[in-house]
Structure 1
Amino acid sequence: MFVFDCELIIGNFKLKTFNSVKITTSRKTLGDTAVIKIGDAGRKQKLRNSIKVGDKVILKMGYKGYPIQTEFEGYVSEVSPNVPFEIHCLDEIFKMRRDVVKTPEGKLGMSWKKTTLLDVLKYILQGYETDLFNVPDVELAPFVIEAKVNRAQVLKKIKEEYGFDVYFRGNKLICALGYTEVIEEQPIFHLQKNVIKTDLIYRKKEDSKIKLKAVSILQDNTRVEVEVGDPDGEIRTWHTETPIKDKEKLKLLAEAQIESYKYEGYTGKIKTFGIPYATHSMSAKILDDTYPERAGIYFIEQVETSVSVTEGFKRDIIFGKKAGR
C-alpha cells in the first residue's frame, strides 16, 4: 500500500500536511499553477496572518519509501480567505508579470528595427537569474514592445504570434519549437497495471481528420497563412522555421507536414497514481496486454496533479501526438 509523503515550503513555513492540492502544467499555457487548501483552524489563522503574495513556494510529493519529487516551484500569487483557506501559486511567470519593460534610460517599452528572438529574450530577462534553453535562431524585424507592457506579456506575444512553446522549468526558460525539449526520464503507463482509468481512443491513420493552419512569419513581421486538410478536422497550427513568402510553396509544405499529425495510435487521456512522475512535453510509453501491438510512445500535452484526503495522490494526463513505437 502506498503512503503519501510531502514537503511544502511557503515563505518561512514548512508543512507536512494540507487538505488538498491541485497543480496544472501544460505546454499550451504560459505558466504552471497550484492551488493549496489548508483546513486546520489554528494553523490556518497563523498562515493567513503571515503568508503574503510573492512568498516562495516549493512543493515536493511522493510516497514513503520512494524518492519525493519537486512537483511545483513558484510564488504565492493570491491568498483567498475561503474555507478551507486557499493559497494560489504561479511559477516564475509570477515575477515576469510584476515588471514592465523599460529601456536602459528608464523609458517604457522598447523597439528594434532588426533583432533576433534570443536578443529580445535576453533583454526582457535582464536582472533575473534565469537561464535560456532551446531558443531557435529567428530574426525579428521589426519587433516592438509597447509602453507599460510587462515581461510576461512579451513572452505571451512570442508564444502566440510565433508559435513557440514558452514555459519555465524551475528558473530555466524554455523557448522552442514544440516537443523539442530533451527530457531523459520517460514514464511507462501500463493500462492493466498502473492506470486507474482510461479515456483513450485508438484510431487508424486513415480515420484521422486534421485541419492544419500553416503560418510563416516574414522578416518584416508580416504573416503568410494557409489552411490544408479536412475542413471538419482537429485544428492544429504549424509555424515554419524559416520565412516563406510564396503561398503555394507554403501550401505544399503544409500538405507534407500534415502527415506527421496523422498516425495510427491513441488519443485522449488517462488517470494514474502519483508514480511514475509525469509532466508536459515528456514522452511516455503506453503498454496494453490486451492489444500488445498497440504499444507506442506519445508526447504529454498536459498534466493535472491532485492530492486530497478522499481521492489520494492522482494524475490526469492528456496525450498529444505520437512520438514513436
Structure 2
Amino acid sequence: MLDMDWKITFKTKEASYQLMLISEVEIDESVENLVDTAIITLPEAVMNQVLNFEEKIVRGSEVLIELGYDKNLEKEFVGYVQDIVANDSSLQIVCEDALFLFRVGVKDAEMKPTSSKKIAESIVDQIDKTFKVSCDYDIGFEKFIIHQATGYDVLKKLQEETKANIYFDTDSKVLHIHAPYLEKGGDVVYSMQENIGKSSLDYKRAIDKKVEVTIESIDLKGNVRSYTTGTTGGDKITIKVGAVTESDMKKIAATVLQQNNYDGLDGSIDTWLIPFVKPTYSAHYSDDDYPDKKGIYYVVSTKTTFSNAGGKRVVKFGIKLG
C-alpha cells in the first residue's frame, strides 16, 4: 500500500510559503490549450478558525505543485496564482502557467511580411525576455496586425489561424510553437491489465470519416484565396485565416486534415499518478484481450486530481504514432 504525498510551495519576492493542508488539487494540461491550469481547494476554516494567508499568497505568487507516493514526488505544475476565490465552504487558489505573465498589453504593430516565430519573439521581447521561443512550425504572414491587444490575445490569434500547438514550458521558460503531434516529451507504457483503471477508447478508421478541409485567406489586395483538400463530399471544415502565404495555406490544411482524419484509438484512459506522464508523451498502449489495438499514441492532454480519495489521471490520446 502506497502512502500519498504532496508538497505545494508558494513564493513571492519576500519569502516562500508551504501549504499544510488541502482538500483537493486539480491540474489540467494540454498542448491544444494556450494555458495549463491548477485549482487548489482548501477548507475555508479549520477548527472554526478561518484560514488567512492573504499576505503569504497573493495574485502573481509563484506556485510549485509536487505530487506522488511514499515521498517520491514529481513536479506536476509550475505557475502563478491568478485568483483566490471564496466559496460557501471552501477556498480555491486558481493558478495558471506562464501565460499568466503574458496577459498584459503589447504595442500596436503592423508586421509585414512576418511569421509565427517573429511574432512570438516580438511578444516575448516586450513582456519577458527571459523566455525563449521554440518554433518548428513557422507559418508566413504577408501582414499581421496587432491592435489594442495583450500578449495572450496575439498568441490566441496565432493559434486560431495556424492551428499550431502553442503552449508554455513554465519551468524551462520556453514558449513552444509546433505542428500538432511533433513535439516529443517522453515515453510512457500503459496496459489495460496492469495500470489502467478504466477506458473510454474507441477505435476509428479514417476511411469511415470523410473530411474536406478548406482554408480561406484574404491577401493584401483584399482578394479571397482558398485551398481545399481531403475527400470531396465529406464533412466540411472551413478555416478563415489572415494574409497567409499560399504555401502555408496548404500546410495549415494538412494539419487540420491530420487532426480530424486518422486510424487509431480515440478517447481517454483513467490511470493513477504512476506512471508519470505529460502532454507530448508517447503512450505505448496494449490490451491482452484486443492485441490488434496495440499501438503508440500521442498524449494531447492530462487531467490530474489529488485528494483524500486518491490520485487519478485522465490521459487523452491523439493520433497513432506507430
**TM over 0.5, shorter chain:** yes
The answer on whether the counterparts of 2:181 and 2:280 sit within 8 Å (CA) in structure 1 is yes
> Going by fraction, where is strand more abundant, 1 or 2?
2
Note if contact 2:271-2:312 (Cα within 8 Å) is conserved in structure 1.
yes
Task: State whether structure 2 residue 287 is matched by structure 1 residue 283.
Answer: no
Report matched runs for 1:1-325 at 5 Å: 1-11=1-11, 12-15=16-19, 17-39=21-43, 41=45, 45-64=51-70, 66=72, 68-82=73-87, 83-97=89-103, 99-102=104-107, 109-126=108-125, 127-146=128-147, 148-170=148-170, 171-183=173-185, 185-204=186-205, 206-207=207-208, 209-215=209-215, 220=220, 224-226=226-228, 228-229=230-231, 243-244=245-246, 258=257, 262-310=261-309, 312-324=310-322
The alignment partner of 2:60 has SS state of coil
Q: Which amino acid aligns with 1:296?
A: G
Counterpart of 1:106 in structure 2 is: none
Cα deviation digits, residues 133-165 of structure 1 (max 9, x gap): 13434332211101x210111000100012111
- What is the CA-CA distance between 1:85 and the residue it aligns to? 1.0
The SS at the match of 1:298 is: strand
How high is the TM-score relative to the length of structure 1?
0.83
- TM superposition shift of 1:51: 1.8
Please state how far the C-alpha of 1:224 moved relative to its aligned partner.
2.4
- Shift in Å, 1:8: 0.5
Unaligned runs of 5+ in 1: 103-108
SS in 1 for 2:105: coil
1:207-246, Cα deviation, whole Å (9 max, x unpaired): 3x1424243768749662436438675969799xx9437x
Within 1, Cα distance between the matches of 2:160 and 2:71? 43
Are the equivalent residues in 2 in contact too, given 1:218–1:244 (CA < 8 A)? no
Aligned residues: 307
RMSD (Å) for aligned C-alpha atoms: 3.2
Percent same amino acid at aligned positions? 27
Runs of 4+ deviating beyond 4 Å: 216-223, 230-239, 253-264
Q: TM-score, normalised by structure 2?
A: 0.84
Please state whether the residue corresponding to 2:82 is helix, strand or coil: strand
Unaligned runs of 5+ in 2: none
Q: Cα–Cα, structure 1 residues 14 and 192, in superposed 2: closer, same or farther, change >3 Å?
A: same
